[in-house]
A and B are shown apart, each in its own frame.
Chain A
Amino acid sequence: QVQLQESGPGLVKPSETLSLTCIVFGGSISDYYWSWIRQPPGKGLEWIGYIHYSGSTNYNPSLKSRVTISVDTSKNQFSLKLNSVTAADTAVYYCARVNSGSKIPLHFDYWGQGTLVTVSS
């Protein structure tokens, strides 16, 4: 059973960089895309971006200028960096596995439990 676990600081100061890591247990990070999604308190879901184990990335256009997602296959983990954060970036951040196949649309089938990141001085 694949499990994902997010880790990182729960508090980030405005203008600084938010950094999170997602470790994958119970399966290899290879052969899949891996994604970050966030959810501001009381609000809906926003896709941040995803990365293939090979390193290719795709980002939400609205966040693209501030986001970097990277992968470390040797540690079976991937990471998120979001720079120049403001209070609007306060959210629960989830990592997820992106499943797809021949003629099968992308879908997010395994999720981490989420980690709350608050942006405040």
Chain B
Amino acid sequence: DIQMTQSPSSLSASVGDRVTITCRASQSISNYLNWYQQKPGKAPKLLIYAASSLQSGVPSRFRGGGSGTDFTLTISSLQPEDFATYYCQQTYSAPTFGPGTQVDVK
């Protein structure tokens, strides 16, 4: 199995802040990395696929980067609707998800 880790596990931020979440794979996964946003009681929503491609309809303040083993999700200016939990996922082999990063109000 490819193990995924995320840091931090949680963070507190204010509207307008720049937020960066890191995801690391236990082995190289090229760009086979996706990011999802999940709000309480809702299904995950795809934000970024193939490490840096923005899913249709997702605001441009979300940006993904990285390749190999280290990846980032950056929210350039946090909006009220962005408080949520974010998961990375690798699909290089049998898909696995990171443990999640909870973004809450500072």
Contact = CB atoms under 8 A, between A and B. Distances in A.
Interface in A16-61: 44-47, 58, 60-61
Nearest to A109: B46
A11 interface: no
A46 B91 contact: no
Contacts of B1: 61
Contacts, number: 60
B45 interface: yes
Given A44-B99, A45-B87, A105-B50, A113 B43 contact: yes
A111 interface: yes
A60 B94 contact: yes
Contacts of A61: 1, 94
B97 A46 contact: yes
A71 B2 CA distance: 28
Interface residues of A, number: 19
B44 A45 contact: yes
* Chief secondary structure at chain A's binding surface: strand
Contacts of B55: 107, 109
B3 to A, nearest CB: 12
A104 B31 CA distance: 9
B49 A94 contact: no
A26 to B, nearest CB: 15
18 contacts: A47-B96, A58-B94, A60-B94, A61-B1, A61-B94, A94-B43, A99-B49, A104-B49, A105-B32, A105-B33, A105-B49, A106-B95, A107-B50, A107-B89, A107-B91, A109-B46, A113-B42, A113-B43
Given A44-B87, A61-B94, A109-B46, 19 more contacts: A44-B98, A44-B100, A45-B36, A45-B89, A47-B94, A47-B97, A58-B94, A60-B94, A94-B44, A99-B49, A105-B30, A105-B49, A105-B91, A105-B92, A107-B34, A107-B46, A107-B49, A107-B55, A108-B44
